[in-house]
Structure 1
Amino acid sequence: MAVSADPLVLDFVEWVAREPRSHAEVLATWKTSCPRLTIWEDAVDLGYVARAMIADVGAAIVVTPAGTQLLRDNGRVVS
């Protein structure tokens, strides 16, 4: 059963699921001038992505188990 989620949040979580992303990459790719469009902040607040330290990468944004489940529940590919 699909969990109702903002399609852009789903797109963001799916993008992060492909590979861990640096904080700078997330900001550069998902920046907006609209204060109502807070896609990546929403994903963090909802527990779908989080910051983590990864060996040989450093600080990164990664998908959480809740984010992986969200993708599965909505028919998104999870690698």
Structure 2
Amino acid sequence: MVHTASLEARPDPAAYLLLQFLAWIADRPRGYTETMEAWRTSCPRLPVWEDATAGHLVRLEAGDATTGGDTRVLLTEAGEALLAHA
């Protein structure tokens, strides 16, 4: 039997995945197409893109040469702050 206290003490794997996603975005310019290919999932337990957009942690911006003209995915101030405090 698993005690409730031990479940509450366990870190949420989805939170770690979200931080990994934010670090990946922060690493270098990322295009929307590249981001979707790397991070889109049909698993309802791992909605990284959905969590990041709903939480206003990433934003979209018109593309440029760094993304081959593809829409850019960037961290918002909230995304940068969350990553900095992780």
* TM-score scaled by length of structure 2: 0.71
1:64 corresponds in structure 2 to: 76
Q: Percent identity over the alignment?
A: 38
2:33 corresponds in structure 1 to: 24
Q: State the structure with more CA Rg.
A: 2
Aligned length in residues:
71
* TM-score scaled by length of structure 1: 0.76
Deviations 1:37-63 (A, max 9, x none): 210110111111110124324311111
Give the unaligned 5+ runs of structure 2.
1-11
RMSD (Å) for aligned C-alpha atoms:
2.0
1:1-79 equivalences under 5 Å are 6-56=15-65, 57=67, 58=69, 59-74=71-86
Q: Hey, which of these two has a bigger chunk of helix by percent?
A: 2
Q: Which has the higher contact order (CA 8 A, sep 6+)?
A: 1
Give the unaligned 5+ runs of structure 1.
75-79
